[in-house]
Chains A and B, each alone.
Chain A
């Protein structure tokens, strides 16, 4: 299969996947008891008012009709309106997404740095003290619930040492106008250095906590793959040819070890972009994760559906992207 065909096939296969997912979410939301009007007005408004509101939202129509309405709306870019706030879901998602992107990228960079360097060094010194330490670190971080780590960070760096703010993206008293929603970029564009420093300070704790937890996955994978690759003949040959140790490690071995890890990293990135729920709620980070938690509590159907479709699209795009990169790097994948 040519690369072009491979890409097209992957994209076409993604469409039914998203539709199935959408139908699934749609059904689940409606099968579980409770509906948005009740969640909002329950016990307050008279029964007639509740009935009328359900009618206005189209909740009294047959499920199939509701689904088709929603489905065709999506093609027009209409994600519906939140029943909680009355605003278009797409607008709300657009507001929340940059916060998640900023947090995710920050955490991801930390995770990759620790993962790759930690993993490579551990593999190089297999079974020696640094390796044991790295493995212990990985298991430890993997086992720790992120909200607990977050809370400990808050207590230490926020309350005791007072170095970093405990929550949110921005200090209340900082003057700031969001443009893109990515606060680091916004503060740079506007040359608002005070805000820039403040934004970075806010990002440090949640970003590091999240990054550390994810780095544990990467670290173990990189280490194991590197150990495998380092035992291969071509490495021995490279060493025998007198190539500098560092070069062997990072140029020859790491390149080969990274192929399988890329898939994992890509999917992990996609998952994170869908909102690191626990991190976001712990640090009052106004991203997609905390958005979803809020909306589920109020049975805000359009918002939950919208968010899930949005996640699905992100995951699909990134996984296609990862597959393509893999296909380029390793042509065997295509067949």
Chain B
């Protein structure tokens, strides 16, 4: 009798455990990021966008693993000859999770709403879009203020994703979970604790490979790592400490994925402030900076040195900036009147938390590499982000570190914000050059990639001649997962697609 009970018990145990494993239809992702807002009219930070990219759908999407645009809600589109009118033909089977069809009217409602509410990302549309028009139930037209060849890339960003008019009010932001139109819907959302995504049965596209995705939020990189070590999460995405990553790489319990990142880091010179108003000084400093040292020492080889503002892997990129050369650096500095007896004394600024904990080390290495010339004396200064922004906008800082994360994937977003007169003002370089401005406007008008490539090459040549910025390195996207988790693609677009993930 007793034996039978034990047998029964063991059988139950086996059954329960096998059921537990067989029904593991969820994957747990851990992150240190936060969700700020899931309203496309307000959402303007990486992680919120990333959630929206998995629960909503837009006009266009990127082909998996590339930066090539492909139709999504828009089946096809036409661009007028003058490049100012875009007509979109929408697919007819797309709906929100409550069954509301996604029509041209919905598109117009969403576009107009973004512009009217004027949230953080609204300028991406309001700067370009003149007006919108419903041509037919499934035909939507946008009139631009000026020809803008990167417009389709802008539509790839969440700001242009349609929202459900029955859920999102016209005159205020909506701060609850969105009405889904993408591969997933939001099943549960406890702010700053976790968000649970579940396959959206109404989605018109391919079904997700894993039914449920749970995203758990952590306060800092060390707890995220501990959660990974203890097996609480299957995937850690954004952000672990570079040195932690190096250790985890040796650990057979995990797989480290590395992908391209469109984030670039650079030094800004305020070209109106002495001594940085002298091109020889800027050139001298550009020659002295040691990018390899930063990449290897601070980021343990995870990031790549960058020699243009247009990132590597993007069309038109050229390595225009010179490699490190201390002799050349001294030469230019002596032309500017500095030598061992009369060294160049400069303040160099960084901000300690906004770009992660590595920033102070970066500043220190730059200081050392500049001082190696023997003719530069660097004083490192720092300010918290909010203060830092204030300082660079009003021209307080002459030389400082900054980073850029693109709003749309096009070389335009790597040159216009930096080299246009208005853009340079909002980045604190105060650079003004009408010639380069005209070139960039010309490139915006053309939709011919070859022609635009030629123009952007010229732009990069002017960039290196004037050096209002010195590119330093290009970021890397890192994701760590248990070996049984498959389907992780670190996209050059930075879209992290949960619907391709599965557990083996």
Chain A residues engaging chain B, CB cutoff 8 angstroms: 32-36, 38-47, 49-50, 52-53, 56, 84-87, 92, 95, 151, 154-155, 158-159, 162, 165-173, 177-178, 280-286, 290, 294, 297-299
Contacts and interface: CB of A to CB of B under 8 A. Distances in A.
Nearest to A155: B226
A324 to B, nearest CB: 36
Interface string B428-472: 100000000000000000000000000000000000000000000
Nearest to A151: B222
B358 interface: no
12 contacts: A33-B386, A33-B387, A33-B391, A43-B428, A45-B426, A49-B122, A87-B175, A158-B230, A167-B227, A284-B223, A286-B193, A299-B386
Nearest to A154: B226
Interface of B: 26, 28, 34, 36-37, 39, 42, 44, 118, 120, 122-123, 127, 173, 175, 188, 190-194, 214, 216-220, 222-223, 226-227, 229-230, 232-233, 353, 383-393, 402, 404, 407, 417, 422-423, 425-428
A47 B223 contact: no
A284 B386 contact: no
A321 to B, nearest CB: 30
Contacts of A87: 175
A84 B34 CA distance: 11
A159 B219 contact: no
Given A41-B120, A86-B175, A162-B230, A167 B425 contact: no
A155 B225 CA distance: 11
A42 B389 contact: yes
A284 B219 contact: yes
A172 B37 contact: no
B173 to A, nearest CB: 5
B218 A85 contact: no
B28 A173 contact: yes
Given A86-B37, A282-B223, A283-B223, 16 more contacts: A34-B385, A40-B44, A42-B389, A43-B404, A45-B426, A46-B426, A47-B422, A158-B230, A159-B229, A159-B230, A167-B219, A171-B232, A172-B194, A172-B214, A284-B218, A284-B219
Given A49-B123, A154-B226, A172-B232, A280 B389 contact: no
Given A43-B389, A283-B223, A297-B385, A172 B192 contact: no
Contacts, number: 145
A248 to B, nearest CB: 48
Given A43-B426, A172-B214, A34 B232 contact: no
B353 to A, nearest CB: 7
A256 to B, nearest CB: 43
Contacts of A38: 386, 389-390, 393
B386 A39 contact: yes
A158 B231 CA distance: 10
A154 to B, nearest CB: 5
Contacts of A283: 219, 223
A52 B216 CA distance: 35
A259 B417 CA distance: 66
A45 B127 CA distance: 10
B219 A40 contact: no
B402 A45 contact: no
Contacts of B227: 166-167
Nearest to A293: B219
B353 A297 contact: yes
Given A45-B120, A85-B37, A165 B175 contact: no
A57 B390 CA distance: 17
A87 B420 CA distance: 35
B191 A95 contact: yes
Contact of B218 (A36, A168, A177): A168
User: Which of B44, B193, B407: most chain A Cβ within 10 A?
Assistant: B193
A53 to B, nearest CB: 8
